[in-house]
Amino acid sequence: MSTDDFLARFGSPGQRQPDPVAAAQQAMRNPLPARFYKEAGVIERDGLHHVALDGRTARTPARKPLAVSSRSVAEALAAEWQAQEQTIDPAAMPLTRLVNSALDGVADQDAAVRAEIVRYAGSDAICYRAGEPEALVERQNAVWQPILSAVEGLIGARFLLAEGIVFVAQPQTTLDAVAGRLAKISGPVALAGAHNVMTLTGSTILMLALANGLIDAEATWTAAHLDEDYQIEVWGQDEEAAERRALRRREFDAAVLLLKEG
C-alpha cells in the first residue's frame, strides 16, 4: 500500500481522498503547483518542530500544522520541500505524504489502524513457506525463521506456519499478544510508519522486529523481498519492475524513519 492508498483509507471523514487510480489520472491532467517559497526550514514552537516555508508553518491538506515531535523527522520533511524546484511534486515527497496522512487521518482513527495491523498478523507473509524448490525452502528457513523466533520471544506467543497458499488461522492468543506489543507504538506519526512498513513488506512480524531493534531496515527489506529476489535470480528482472521497487523503497525508508523516530 502506498502512502496515497493509506491516506485514502484512513483520511479524516471530511478529507477522504478519491479512488487512487482516479486521483492519479486527475493528477496527470492537472499541472503541478509552482514553488511559492524560497526557503524550507524547521522552527520550534509549542513543543513541536514545524516545517516552515519562508518562516511560516506549512499545512497539511486538512489545514493542520505540518509539525512533529521529532526534529530529525522535521528536518527530513523540510529537505523534501527544499528539494522541490520550479514546481511541487507530491510524488517526490513520500515522507510529507505519509506525515500528512498521519496528522489528517491516523490521529482520528487510531483503533482502526491498529486493528488492520493485527489482522495482517493473521495471514503474515513469512508464515507461508514454499514447499519447493529446495533452494528457496532453505533460504526462507535461514532468513525468516530466526526473525520469527525472535518476535515470538518478544511477544510470548507462537505463530502457526503453512506451506503454500492454504490459509491457516493464527491463535487468538497470538493476535492478542501482537496487539499488546503494538500498543507500545504510540502517536499517529509512528503508527503511520508502522502501518506502511507492514504493508510494504507484507508482514506485521517484520514490522515488529524492526520496531523493537531485532533487525535493521536493510535486513527487513531483504527479508520482505526474499521470494522476489529468488525469482529475479532465476528469471531476471525487467526495467519497469526495478523502477517500481525503487519507488517502494523510498516509501519504505520514509516509513522506517517515522516508525523509529516519530
CATH code assigned at 250: 1.10.3580.10
Q: Which of 63, 92, 121 is the last residue of a domain?
A: 92
Q: Which of 92, 126, 153 is the last residue of a domain?
A: 92
What CATH code is carried by the domain that includes residue 63? Answer: 3.30.2180.10
238 and 144 in a common domain = yes
243 and 116 in a common domain = yes
pLDDT digits (tens, 9 = 90+) for 53-78: 999 999 999 999 999 999 999 999 99
What SS3 state is found at 111? helix
168 and 47 in a common domain = no
In a domain, 104, yes or no: no
In a domain, 97, yes or no: no
In a domain, 35, yes or no: yes
In a domain, 183, yes or no: yes
In our burial notation (b when 16+ CB lie closer than 10 A, e otherwise), range 123-136 reads ebbbbbebeeeeeb
211 and 156 in a common domain = yes
Q: Residue 104 above 80 pLDDT?
A: yes
229 and 116 in a common domain = yes
What's the total number of domains in the chain?
2
pLDDT digits (tens, 9 = 90+) for 16-27: 333 444 444 454
In a domain, 98, yes or no: no
244 and 205 in a common domain = yes
251 and 139 in a common domain = yes
205 and 142 in a common domain = yes
What does pTM read for this prediction? 0.87
In a domain, 220, yes or no: yes
> What is the structure's pLDDT at 13?
33
> What is the structure's pLDDT at 229?
95
In a domain, 43, yes or no: yes
10 and 40 in a common domain = yes
The pLDDT confidence band at residue 237, using thresholds 50, 70 and 90, is confident
Helices (H), 84-133: 94-104, 110-121
Task: Name, in order, each residue with C-beta under 8 angstroms of 247's C-beta and a sequence gap of 6 or more.
Answer: none
In a domain, 101, yes or no: no
Return the number of other C-beta atoms located less than 10 Å from residue 171's C-beta.
Answer: 13
Q: Residue 191 above 80 pLDDT?
A: yes
Residue of 29, 51, 53, 54 whose CA lies nearest to 100: 51
- CA dist., res. 95 & res. 204, Å (int): 21
Range of the domain at 59: 3-92
Q: Which of 57, 92, 127 is the last residue of a domain?
A: 92
